[in-house]
């Protein structure tokens, strides 16, 4: 997958647990876990905005494009 989710890295840098972040942004711990482990196909901008606000970071700190083969079926 060409988009890598670095949410876990940012959470570790900010020393915040999944349960706390999920509560602050208003999603379930399960959905946060799916996002952190790149198991989702998309994210709402409003959710991304809340994550960036809480973690005091930019969207590019969380989402990274990695050059590689594009698989349109993925």
Residue 65 vs residues 23, 34, 37, 39: alpha-carbon distances, Å: 28, 18, 15, 16
Name, in order, each residue with C-beta under 8 angstroms of 4's C-beta and a sequence gap of 6 or more. Answer: 38, 63, 64, 65, 66
What is the model's pTM? 0.86
pLDDT at 68 over 80: no
Q: Provide the Cα torsion 19, 23, 25, 30; round to 10°.
A: 50
pLDDT band at 67 (very low <50, low <70, confident <90, very high): confident
């Amino acid at each position: 997958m060409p988009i890598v989710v670095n949410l876990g890295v940012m959470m570790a840098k900010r020393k915040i647990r999944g349960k706390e972040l999920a509560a602050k942004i208003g999603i379930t711990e399960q959905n946060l876990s799916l996002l952190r482990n790149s198991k989702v196909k998309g994210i709402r901008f409003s959710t991304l905005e809340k994550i960036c606000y809480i973690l005091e970071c930019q969207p590019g700190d969380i989402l990274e494009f990695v050059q590689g083969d594009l698989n349109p079926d993925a």
